[in-house]
Every structure is written in C-alpha cells, then in structure tokens.
Structure 1
Amino acid sequence: MANNNRFKKVMSSTDILVVAFGAMIGWGWVVSSGRWIQNAGTIGTVIGFFIGGVMIYFVGMTYAELTPAMPNVGGEHVFSHKAFGPTGSFICTWALILSYIGVVCFEAVSLPTIIQYIFPSFSQGYMYSVVGADVYATGVATSTIFTIGIIILNIMGIKAASIFQTILTGVIAAVGVILVVASAISGSLDNLQGQVIIGDGIGSIKNILSVAVVAPFFLFGFDVIPQVAEEINIPLKKIARILLFSIICAVTFYGLVVFAVGYAMNTEDIALAMGGSGLVTASAMEKVFNSTIMAKVLILGGLCGVITSWNSFVIGGSRAIFSMAESKMIPRRFTKLHPKYKTPTNALLLIGGLSSVAPFFGRTMLIWISDAASFACCLAYLMVALSFLVLRKKYPDMKRPYKVNHYRVVGVIASVLSGLMVALYLIPGSGATLTFEEIIIVGGWTLLGVFFYTMCKKRYGDKFGKIHYGELY
C-alpha cells in the first residue's frame, strides 16, 4: 500500500462533507420520527439522539486522529491492522463491510416503498409475499434500475459520484430547513403536551435508551471518509475537522426535524398519521402548509436521502472490500481498478449485485438488515476506538497531523460507549436484542468470514494480511 497514487486525488472539502452527511441522512428522518416520538416523546427522542450522537462523536474523534495519520484506502482496515495485526484487522473490516452492505440493501428495499407514497398506484405485478410483506415486479425493477445507475456512476469516478451527492444533499437540507422554519411559525408548545418524554422513572430512561441505541445506525456514515482517504485532495488536518463537523450536522438535523414534528403535531395527530401512511414527518409538513403537495415534497427529500446514503455506502463498501483483497484477506480479484477512472470495479459490481437481490426479500428485511448492520457498525467502532488507544501507546511518535487532546479519556469513553452498544444487542431484554432472524444474518456473515479467513490464509501463507504502510507513517 506504499503507492498512494493508485486512486485519483480529486475530492474537495465539500465533496467529503456531503458524502459523510449524505450517508448519515437517509430515509429514517421521514419514516421513523413518529415511532421515535411515540416511544420516547419529542424531547426524549432528541435526548436519545444526543446520547447516540455523543457516542458517535467520541468515536469520531478517534477517527479524526487516525484518518490523517494513516491516509490510505480502507481506513479502519489499516488502523486496526497496525494496532492488532491481520486477525484484528479482518474482524474490524469484515464487520464494517456488513454494515455498509446492510445499509445499501436497506436503501434498495426502501426505494419502492418511498415511490409508493408519492405514486399510490406504483406497486404493480404482485409476485409473492415474504413474512407478510408483498413483493411487486415494479418495485424490484425500479430498485434494479437505480442500482445499475449508482454503480455505473461510481465506476465513472469518485468525483462524478460526489457531484451527484452534492446536488441531492442540497435538496435534503433545503427540505429540512423548510419544515423546521414552517413548524416554528405554525406550530405550538401546546402540541408537546403528553409527548415531551414518554414514561416515568426507569421507564422513561429505558424509552430514551431505546432511541439512543438505534441512533448509531442513523448516524454512521462519517466513517466513509477514511475509506476514500487516498482520493481526498485537501490538507490532512482539515480532513479531521470536516469529519467531526459532519457528525455535528447530522445530529443537529435529526434533532431539529424531530422537534419540528412534535411542535407541529399533537399526540392525536401523530397517532392518526401512524395509523395511516406512517410518514409522520410528511404529515407534519402537510399540516404546517395545509398542502398535500408539500407532503410529497418532503417525501421527495426523503427519496434524495435514500439515494445519498445508498451512494455513500457503495463508495465506502467498495473501498473496504478493495483494501481486504489487497492485503490478501479475500480473493484478489476485488483489487481490480478501472484502467481509466481508477475505481474498484469488481468490488462495486459485487455490492451492486447484492443490492439488486435485496428487494426480492420484501420490506420485512428492512428491520433485520438495519439491526444487523447497526450491530456490525458498533463492533467496528469498538475496534477502531481500541486501535486508537493501542497506537498511542505502541507508536507515540507516529506523525499525527491532527492530535486529540486527553487521548486516554477520549479513547476510553469511545471504547466503553461503543462496547456498551455492542452489548445491548446481545443482552436479552435490553430493548435492542438481536432477533433470531438478525442473529442468522450476523451468524451467516461470521461463518462466511471464517471461510475466507481460513481459505486465504492457506492460499497466501505469509503474505496473508500484509500491508506496506509506506513512508507517511
């Protein structure tokens, strides 16, 4: 990995900010706000996202130091390798790839659902049902077409994908601002009665934590930045600041949107919307403008969020796969770069193929995939936080363009919080315990990882897991 010119350095400050922010702002702010408010209350949800945001920010600080210190493709793959060697690196990156692919599949399955809200007669050509979720030919075809488009765009180069990302992220931000401003003008504090914080005592804390524990799934995406470190063309220290700023932007966006919904709609309004389309955020937009057209405008913003998240995780996932293949942890064919655009072609095609298959399993897969991906993401974050602490001790003189103050405090808090999130998915009765189906997904992915680890270690011998760090660090 000593050659840092394999990828084109074309990404600007704006490019990496919108890639990270666009990854974190998907469809959840449209489809999940009502459920969060009913579970934890408006302020309870904001507090829950703040708690999740604090965890993400502490983890983000470890990323902020490590990314400019080791600016190679693969990011976490390199961090964990330098700290723990090939096995630790394999576990970290393999978990991260599951989280990326999980989000990509989540967005592929979400897309037809969103279009259905805009065009009620969209679903045609009933095929079959999966755990109560109907699968239609139009939905599968549309997801496939979008998948092909996103993969082609990414093969054509990171700059093209970044420009596309910037346009759509601008639409999301504009729609969000319109909702917040309109709610502030037309809403009322009276609407918060009965839905400030749901529950009393321990019950309220548990409800808030139920939001906090899912917040990382809706906030992860900043970690795409280290995946494309070799393609960024700005001072290394600036990368760290943009990474942390993207987290602040995402937490603020979710908090403002949730508060705007609660400020615009009372408990009866939210219950009615949940019993109807379920898109409470869109219903809030409709109420403050007294216009069904504005509800569709907000849903269109959510559609843009799906595509930006989809695009970002295709970028991140393909680079993570490339980095594992380059260090001979998975088959070498995934190291192939496009001769002109310098993009990891085979890795992109693999992710495209998986996201094309996902819509065939129906909407029930959304919950399973999101929880399995969130668990995998928290595990990867734990590995990075621990890598941060280990590298400070093992390599105190390593060049660090951005250096975190009080690193022990930051590293320990990041490790404890991300470790707690991992534990909550495994402890029965925590409110976030993985279901049987989700355990099957995680277990299957683990077995596939064991297969690749064993096969590649046998095939490549001493070359397995080798990374040449180069002269930068």
Structure 2
Amino acid sequence: MVQKKPSISFFGLVAMGVGCMLGTSWLLLTGTWLEAAGGPLDLVVAFALCILVELPFAFAYMEAIPMLPLPGGEVVYSTAAFGSLGGFAVGWAGVLMNSIVFCWVDLAAISLLDELLPALSGAAVLYTVAGYPVSLSNVLLQLAIAGAIVYIQYRGADVCASLAKIATVVLLVMCLAGLALAFAHFDPQVYASDGGLDFDFRGSLSLLSLLVFSVAGWETVAKAAADATGKAARKAGAALIVCLLLVTSLLCLVSTAVAGNMPWREAVERTAPFADVLVAITGAPAIRALFLATAFVGAVGVMNSTLYSSARMLYGLAQFDLISRWFAPLHPRYGTPTRCVWAAAAFVLAAPFTGKLLFLPLINIASLATIVMWVMTLLAVVHMWKKYPDLPRPVPMPGGRPMALLGLLASLFLAGNILLPFSPGALDPLEYVLALVLALLGAGLYRSRDRSLSNEAREAEMFGDLLSRR
C-alpha cells in the first residue's frame, strides 16, 4: 500500500484552517451579524465572548494533536478515551459536518457568480423546488466547481495545501487592504449613530448563538496535522490557535469598519456592505465586483478544506476498522484515499438539483455535529488524564483543569443553544428527523466494520504501543 508522504508546512496548516473559516462570511454576513447583535458595540462583545467559548476546545486540541499524532484527528482522540463507538460517533459527526458545509458553500459560490454575472441569474429556470429555482446553468456550474475540488483532493495533500495557501493569501491581502482603507475613513459619529454605542448584553448573546458556528473550522488543522512535515506537526496546536484568533479578529474588524463608515442599520439592508463602503470611499464601482470575486475564491478555499477534512475523517474510520475496510485503499500514485474523497463528495450530487431546499435544514445539523466534535475532544483529553496519566503530552492543555471546567460550561451552553426549544439555534422537528436518518446511516456503516475484531485488538492495531504507558 502506498504511504502518504508528509508534505504540509506550518503555513499550509494555517492556510487550511483560515481557508475553512474565512470563506465568504467576512464579506456577506456583516449585515446579518449587526442585526442579530442590535448594534456594533454589542457585536464586539459577542466576538470577544466567542473567543472565550471556543478557546477551551482549541486548547484541548493543542494537547490532543501532538499526544496522538495519527491520521483521523478527533476519531483517534475519542477512540483512545471512549473506545470504538466513541471514535466512530465523533468521526461520523465530522464527516457529516464537513460534507454538508462543502455542499452549502458550493451553493453560495453559485450565488456569488450570479451577482458577478447577471446573465447567469437570468438563465431559464428548469423547475422550482418549494419556491427555490433550479436552472441548468447553475446545476452545471455547481457540478463543475465541486468536480474541480474533488480532482484536487484526488491529487494529494500537497496540492490541497497549495490551493489553500493561494486562497488564504488572496483573502488576507484583499481583506487587510480593505480594512486599511475603511479605517482610514472611520467616522466615530457614524459608528455611534442609531444607538451604536448602546449596550444590551442580550444582543451580544443573540449574536453569539450564531457566531460560534460562523467561525468554526479551525479544527481542520487536527486532520491536516497527520499530513504535515515533522516540524509543522509539532507546531500544529499553535497553528490552530493562530487560525482561531486571526480569523475572529478579522471578522470583528470588518464589521467594525463597516459600522464606522455606514450607519449600521443601513448596513443590515446590504448584501455586501464592506464592498459597498469601499465603493463609496473610492468612487470605483469595480471594487464591488473585485471583492465579490475574492469571496468566490474564499468559497473555493472552504470547499477545499472541508472536503479534505471529511475525506480524512472517513479514511481514519476505515483505516482503524471502525467502518468497512472498503474505504481504506489509497491511490497507487498519489497516496490519497480516493474512495473516501468520492464518498465525502456524494452529497453534492443531490445539491444542485434541489436548490437550497435540501441543505437549509442540514445547516443546523452541521452545527450539532460541530458541537459533538468539540465536546468529545475536550472530554477525551480530560478523561485521558485519568486513563493514561503517563502518556507523553508534548503540549499540555493550557490552563489545565480550570480551563477544562470552563470548556465543560461552554459545552453546556452550546448544547443548550441547539437542543432547547426556546433557543435561537434550536433544531426544528424536520431537522430532528434528518438527524435521526443520518444517525441511522452512520449506524449502518458502523455495523459494516470487521466485527470479528475485538475492541482490544482494534485499539492495539490503531495505536500500537503508543498507549502502552499507563
């Protein structure tokens, strides 16, 4: 069997994480965030709270990645702590989350192309699904974009990382240039207009419910670490923290820059208020098209990172006999898990033909799957303090037990936000049904594993003597 050669650098790890996080949100979601917060000051507080909520989980990953440097990311950590069922549950959650986001961003990319090329939005409609139009041009474009990303994944981790680097550099350069221009024209009176300096903690909490998942994606680094060079792999935890802090800060700065150049209630009504602000400053309408094109590059970056993560988690499940070994073979030339890539991309076959109908309810399920990954990784790290006290920990979790306690409280907040009926992010009955269907599909895959293999034998094969020191 061809072995994958480690090829991703430290910057490649950062690029994979930033590419998955930044995407199109920096350009398209500012108005949504300002409306949810009820003003720019409440928005800043929500971003600060978002870092506090996510940081304990990121710190848990910092300990887990170098402690168990094996392919599969969260699959490895949860299997070591909770056995094969725990490993499968978190792995399947990761496959679902990344696959759903991959397809949703494919839809978003087409929306951006419709904005850039009005002729596309005016194409003849083949049919409508629950009010959502489906045109031949959009179907073909979605399949073409997804197919190109699948081919890149097919070619190997180094090609994926190269695309991530390009997308990340383009995004950061354009975003930072826009921020410099916007803050050079920042007007405190505009920022304070419409009650911009009024503070209501309820507004911050309302935005926080949305924001936690808007800046998710830093955990992509955990899957990419197995394909990283030795030096980069040792610093994978640092790369993950860089992604979280960098992207969260940039998103907060973009929203703040918009509110300092345009009354925030006006920004709420705009599709891309950051681009509109820059057009007003420069007097160049082409700026809007340029930034929409940049957001399209960001969408491609997200698709690249999420499909990579989904395929690598599926491969981790197959490699360690948590699903059928049918998924495990690697490409004879590129050393990539091609069957896993195709399986992870299978969702995209349905997306173009259903418009937005199919994936609107799946977005909340993707959020639920994200919670499962974060919380299970945190619990796995905490549980292994007792289960494997002598296991080498090159990077102990910063903050130790107090930080773990904060993470458990954050876990309760996240779970309540999506499971309690009165919560802003709560699942509706249809989403519960879809979650159950996907869970049953996962159960079928779990049953396809080699059940003649005992848990002890499976863990011995998975970890070798890595966990032998207790």
* TM-score scaled by length of structure 2: 0.93
Deviations 1:45-96 (A, max 9, x none): 2222222222222101100111011111101001001111111112211112
The amino acid across from 1:226 in the alignment is A
2-structure distance, mates of 1:51, 1:364? 32
2-structure distance, mates of 1:352, 1:56? 28
Partner residue, 1:10: 7
Deviations 1:434-459 (A, max 9, x none): 123322332221121222234437x5
Q: Is the 8 A contact 2:125 2:134 kept in 1?
A: yes
| Superposed counterparts of 1:259-338, under 5 Å | 259-267=256-264, 269-273=266-270, 278-338=271-331
Q: Percent of counterpart pairs with the same letter?
A: 22
Q: Is the 8 A contact 1:31 1:279 kept in 2?
A: yes
3-state SS of 2:331 partner: coil
2-structure distance, mates of 1:195, 1:18? 37
Partner residue, 1:250: 247
Equivalent pairs, count:
461
Partner residue, 1:347: 340
Deviations 1:182-220 (A, max 9, x none): 11122311222225367x7xxx33332222122232222
CA-based RMSD of the aligned residues comes to 2.1
Among candidates 441, 445, 449, match of residue 452 of structure 1: 445
Among candidates 355, 374, 397, match of residue 381 of structure 1: 374
1-structure distance, mates of 2:352, 2:360? 13
2-structure distance, mates of 1:205, 1:361? 39
Q: Is the 8 A contact 2:320 2:462 kept in 1?
A: no
How far 1:43 moved relative to its partner? 2.3
- List, as ranges, runs of 4+ consecutive aligned residues in structure 1 with deviation greater than 4 Å: 463-467
Structure 1 residues 355 and 465 mapped into 2: Cα distance closer, same or farther (>3 Å)? farther
2-structure distance, mates of 1:340, 1:471? 30
Among candidates 199, 218, 222, match of residue 222 of structure 1: 218
Partner residue, 1:150: 149
Structure 1 residues 160 and 115 mapped into 2: Cα distance closer, same or farther (>3 Å)? same
Partner residue, 2:196: 196
Partner residue, 1:28: 25
Among candidates 435, 441, 451, match of residue 434 of structure 2: 441
Among candidates 223, 229, 233, match of residue 233 of structure 1: 229
Gap regions ≥5 residues in structure 2: none
Q: Is the 8 A contact 1:216 1:374 kept in 2?
A: no
Structure 1 residues 341 and 105 mapped into 2: Cα distance closer, same or farther (>3 Å)? same
Q: Is the 8 A contact 1:283 1:295 kept in 2?
A: yes
Structure 1 residues 53 and 110 mapped into 2: Cα distance closer, same or farther (>3 Å)? same
Among candidates 459, 465, 469, match of residue 463 of structure 2: 469
3-state SS of 2:194 partner: coil
Structure 1 residues 377 and 298 mapped into 2: Cα distance closer, same or farther (>3 Å)? same
| Superposed counterparts of 1:29-108, under 5 Å | 29-40=26-37, 41-108=39-106
1-structure distance, mates of 2:416, 2:205? 13
Q: Is the 8 A contact 2:99 2:345 kept in 1?
A: no
The amino acid across from 1:183 in the alignment is A
Gap regions ≥5 residues in structure 1: none
Partner residue, 1:165: 164
* TM-score scaled by length of structure 1: 0.92
2-structure distance, mates of 1:439, 1:111? 27
